[in-house]
Amino acid sequence: MELGKYSMGIGDRFSHQAKAQLSGIKKAEAEGIVIIPVWNKSFREHQIIKSNPDETRAQADEAVASLNWGHGHFVDADHVGLKTIDHFLNSCDFFTLDVADFIGKKAEDKNLNEFVENNKKFCGSLNIPGIEKPFEITQDIIKTIAEKFLFAIEEAGRIYRRLAEAKGNGNFVVEVSMDETDYPQSPIELLFILSAIAKENIPAQTIAPKFSGRFNKGVDYVGTVEDFEKEFEQDIAVIKFAVEKFALPKNLKLSVHSGSDKFAIYGSINRALKKHNAGVHLKTAGTTWLEELIGLASAGGEGLQIAKEVYRKAYNRYDELCGPYKTVIDIDTKKLPDPDEVDKWNEEKYASVLRHDQSNANYNPNFRQLLHVGYKVAAEMGERYLNALSKYEETIAKNVIENVFDRHIKKIFY
């Protein structure tokens, strides 16, 4: 299975927006740009919503058949490890192997020494095509990188072999994810991470490093755009170099996690893809859930009432809901509106505060981030919330399509 040059992770918390999401991707296809949809959902999300991967698969397959999508599509077991992978084996054909928690754990001395020995050929001035200045590599540098990352990649190898045993080699796409950690990986660290991936015989088609800057959920990039652009281009060059040196899959590409709404860096990504003729996997995850809320609010009536109730309950359960996401949100609680104030809002006000339109004075990124992690509240509404998604499907779909195509696809892939 090959992922293709361009692909997009389109999370769908409640498995109701697959057709709308694919409709946005089909708008790009009509203009000659093929983007492979990957419906992603994590074990944590399934547990909170009380859903299962079979439902995600069914929705994805139904959308593909209904809209006559003639290209590939995948269902991603998002951020899985050995403890959770069995939950996804039957339904998924894309697996994001999350080993961030194993970074910094030391591999056995024998394995460390062997890794350094195998890579000492890179010592000295290392020139990587596409990167202006050479890197000065020593055995101590390689050893330091191995002490930080080798054990994590060995864990990825263990997860991959469990997958291959269950599904057979070549029957699924593999991504290695190292983004949910405290510090970004440098291009040279990425090079030796890829060396370790090759040593484990993991046929990774995407790699998700942690980039410089903040990639908070559902809001814009925070950081120095020029630094990100340089880093992103160097990572592309490193991947091309590693594919040749380590015999990794030729379609290996970068994956940008929490990539939704990072408008400040979309121009940088767009330029880099064109300049280097590179592919990318953009993971947008929970953005669709926010578009559902915007659609419900915009519809008025019961839809607006549900949206207001979700905010009130999320506001009152701040610590519970934000705790699991504390590394990927930055909320100024003083700038969260009081629920009593929100109850007075009309359809337009609620939607404009939540919708990520920085030109609108009403937009509030703190409000948006809290609701981004507040989907548990909607899940607890059960059939009431799901019935509202069906009742206001037309209004919601309009927002989902616009978000996928206008705010994301057009800015990155065109």
Q: Are 176 and 99 in contact (CB under 8 A)?
A: yes
What's the CA gap between 365 and 327, in Å, rounded? 16
Query: In the 8-state DSSP scheme, what is residue 386?
Result: H
- Tell me the CA distances in angstroms from 84 to 41, 328, 329, one per residue in order: 12, 22, 24
Domain ranges across the chain: 6-285, 287-397
DSSP string, 178-215: --SSSSPPPHHHHHHHHHHHHHTT--EEEEEPPPSSB-
Q: What is the pLDDT along the chain (414 residues), one digit of tens a residue?
A: 999 999 999 989 999 999 999 999 999 999 999 999 999 999 999 999 999 999 999 999 999 999 999 999 999 999 999 999 999 999 999 999 999 999 999 999 999 999 999 999 999 999 999 999 999 999 999 999 999 999 999 999 999 999 999 999 999 999 999 998 889 999 999 999 999 999 999 999 999 999 999 999 999 999 999 999 999 999 999 999 999 999 999 999 999 999 999 999 999 999 999 999 999 999 997 789 999 999 999 999 999 999 999 999 999 999 999 999 988 899 999 999 999 999 999 999 999 999 999 999 999 999 999 999 999 999 999 999 999 999 999 999 999 999 999 999 999 999
Rounded to 5°, the CA angle 154-156-157 comes to: 60
CATH 3.20.20.70 is held by the domain 6-285: yes
DSSP run (H or E) holding 78: strand 74-80
What SS3 state is found at 170?
coil
**Burial tier of 153 (Cβ tally within 10 Å: 0-12, 13-18, 19+):** buried
- Tell me the CA distances in angstroms from 411 to 98, 265, 391, one per residue in order: 28, 10, 31
Which residues, 6+ apart, have CB-to-CB distance to 395 below 8 Å?
A: 295, 296, 298, 299, 303
**Burial tier of 280 (Cβ tally within 10 Å: 0-12, 13-18, 19+):** buried
The pTM assigned to this predicted structure is 0.96
